[in-house]
Amino acid sequence: MSTDPEALITDTQTRDLCGGISTMTLWRWRRDLGFPRPRKINGRNYNTRREILEHLDALLAAEAELKAEAEEPLKANAEHREAVLEAATEQLQEIIDNVLSDGHENLVSEAFARNIVERIDAEEPSRITIKF
Protein backbone atom coordinates (compact mmCIF):
# COMPACT_ATOMS: atom_id res chain seq x y z
CA MET A 1 0.00 0.00 0.00
CA SER A 2 1.35 3.42 -0.96
CA THR A 3 2.10 5.97 1.75
CA ASP A 4 1.39 8.93 -0.55
CA PRO A 5 -1.34 10.94 1.24
CA GLU A 6 -3.10 11.72 -2.03
CA ALA A 7 -3.06 8.12 -3.26
CA LEU A 8 -6.46 6.57 -3.79
CA ILE A 9 -7.09 3.54 -1.62
CA THR A 10 -9.84 0.95 -1.91
CA ASP A 11 -12.45 0.18 0.73
CA THR A 12 -10.44 -2.92 1.69
CA GLN A 13 -7.34 -0.77 2.23
CA THR A 14 -9.46 1.80 4.10
CA ARG A 15 -10.80 -0.91 6.43
CA ASP A 16 -7.24 -2.15 7.03
CA LEU A 17 -6.09 1.40 7.75
CA CYS A 18 -8.90 1.70 10.29
CA GLY A 19 -7.73 -1.34 12.22
CA GLY A 20 -9.29 -4.14 10.21
CA ILE A 21 -12.91 -3.08 10.63
CA SER A 22 -15.65 -4.89 8.77
CA THR A 23 -17.43 -3.68 5.64
CA MET A 24 -20.57 -3.10 7.73
CA THR A 25 -18.65 -1.03 10.29
CA LEU A 26 -17.20 1.16 7.53
CA TRP A 27 -20.70 1.59 6.10
CA ARG A 28 -22.05 2.58 9.56
CA TRP A 29 -19.17 5.00 10.12
CA ARG A 30 -20.03 6.68 6.83
CA ARG A 31 -23.71 6.84 7.76
CA ASP A 32 -23.41 7.78 11.46
CA LEU A 33 -20.01 9.41 12.00
CA GLY A 34 -19.66 11.44 8.84
CA PHE A 35 -16.80 9.29 7.57
CA PRO A 36 -15.71 10.49 4.11
CA ARG A 37 -17.90 9.25 1.26
CA PRO A 38 -15.99 7.31 -1.39
CA ARG A 39 -15.49 8.12 -5.04
CA LYS A 40 -16.91 5.50 -7.39
CA ILE A 41 -14.51 4.46 -10.13
CA ASN A 42 -15.58 1.51 -12.30
CA GLY A 43 -17.99 0.42 -9.57
CA ARG A 44 -15.34 0.38 -6.81
CA ASN A 45 -15.08 2.72 -3.83
CA TYR A 46 -11.95 4.86 -3.36
CA ASN A 47 -10.85 7.47 -0.83
CA THR A 48 -7.57 9.30 -0.44
CA ARG A 49 -5.34 8.17 2.39
CA ARG A 50 -5.19 11.78 3.65
CA GLU A 51 -8.95 12.18 4.09
CA ILE A 52 -9.22 8.86 5.95
CA LEU A 53 -6.30 9.69 8.28
CA GLU A 54 -7.63 13.21 8.93
CA HIS A 55 -11.04 11.84 9.82
CA LEU A 56 -9.54 9.18 12.10
CA ASP A 57 -7.49 11.89 13.85
CA ALA A 58 -10.65 13.98 14.31
CA LEU A 59 -12.53 10.99 15.76
CA LEU A 60 -9.68 10.23 18.17
CA ALA A 61 -9.53 13.87 19.28
CA ALA A 62 -13.30 13.93 19.84
CA GLU A 63 -13.09 10.69 21.80
CA ALA A 64 -10.29 12.07 24.00
CA GLU A 65 -12.31 15.23 24.65
CA LEU A 66 -15.41 13.25 25.62
CA LYS A 67 -13.34 11.02 27.88
CA ALA A 68 -11.82 14.06 29.62
CA GLU A 69 -15.28 15.58 30.10
CA ALA A 70 -16.59 12.32 31.54
CA GLU A 71 -13.71 12.09 34.03
CA GLU A 72 -14.25 15.61 35.43
CA PRO A 73 -17.27 14.69 37.63
CA LEU A 74 -15.48 11.56 38.82
CA LYS A 75 -12.44 13.60 39.81
CA ALA A 76 -14.60 16.16 41.60
CA ASN A 77 -16.52 13.38 43.36
CA ALA A 78 -13.27 11.73 44.49
CA GLU A 79 -11.99 15.07 45.83
CA HIS A 80 -15.28 15.63 47.67
CA ARG A 81 -15.20 12.12 49.14
CA GLU A 82 -11.61 12.67 50.30
CA ALA A 83 -12.62 15.94 51.99
CA VAL A 84 -15.59 14.26 53.71
CA LEU A 85 -13.39 11.41 54.92
CA GLU A 86 -10.80 13.83 56.23
CA ALA A 87 -13.42 15.89 58.08
CA ALA A 88 -15.04 12.77 59.56
CA THR A 89 -11.65 11.44 60.65
CA GLU A 90 -10.83 14.74 62.36
CA GLN A 91 -14.20 14.85 64.13
CA LEU A 92 -13.89 11.26 65.29
CA GLN A 93 -10.35 11.86 66.49
CA GLU A 94 -11.56 14.88 68.48
CA ILE A 95 -14.35 12.83 70.10
CA ILE A 96 -11.94 10.05 71.01
CA ASP A 97 -9.38 12.51 72.41
CA ASN A 98 -12.11 14.16 74.54
CA VAL A 99 -13.27 10.81 75.89
CA LEU A 100 -9.71 9.76 76.74
CA SER A 101 -8.77 13.14 78.26
CA ASP A 102 -11.86 13.18 80.51
CA GLY A 103 -10.66 10.05 82.27
CA HIS A 104 -13.19 7.74 80.65
CA GLU A 105 -10.60 5.18 79.62
CA ASN A 106 -12.98 2.46 80.73
CA LEU A 107 -15.39 3.50 77.94
CA VAL A 108 -12.91 3.22 75.13
CA SER A 109 -9.36 1.96 75.01
CA GLU A 110 -6.80 3.91 73.06
CA ALA A 111 -6.15 0.89 70.81
CA PHE A 112 -9.87 0.69 70.04
CA ALA A 113 -9.98 4.41 69.34
CA ARG A 114 -7.03 4.21 66.93
CA ASN A 115 -8.66 1.23 65.21
CA ILE A 116 -11.81 3.28 64.56
CA VAL A 117 -9.78 6.11 63.03
CA GLU A 118 -7.85 3.68 60.80
CA ARG A 119 -11.03 1.93 59.63
CA ILE A 120 -12.90 5.12 58.76
CA ASP A 121 -11.15 5.24 55.39
CA ALA A 122 -12.76 1.93 54.44
CA GLU A 123 -16.26 2.94 55.52
CA GLU A 124 -18.79 5.46 54.30
CA PRO A 125 -18.47 8.32 56.85
CA SER A 126 -22.20 8.95 56.99
CA ARG A 127 -22.81 5.35 58.08
CA ILE A 128 -20.26 5.12 60.87
CA THR A 129 -21.79 4.81 64.32
CA ILE A 130 -19.90 4.43 67.53
CA LYS A 131 -21.45 2.33 70.28
CA PHE A 132 -19.95 2.34 73.76
Average pLDDT across the chain, whole number: 77
100: which residues sit within 8 A by CB, 6+ positions away?
108, 110, 113
| Residues 58, 33 contacting (CB under 8 angstroms) | no
Q: What is the pLDDT of residue 80?
A: 74
Counts for the chain of helices (H) and strands (E), in that order? 4, 3
Could you tell me if residue 93 is inside a domain?
yes
Q: Residues 74-126: pLDDT tens digits? A: 677 777 777 777 777 777 777 667 766 666 555 555 556 556 655 555 555 55
Task: Count how many domains the chain has.
Answer: 1
pLDDT band at 132 (very low <50, low <70, confident <90, very high): very low
Could you tell me if residue 120 is inside a domain?
yes
CA angle at residue 35 from 30 to 41, to 5 degrees? 75
pTM score: 0.51
Could you tell me if residue 28 is inside a domain?
yes
Could you tell me if residue 27 is inside a domain?
yes
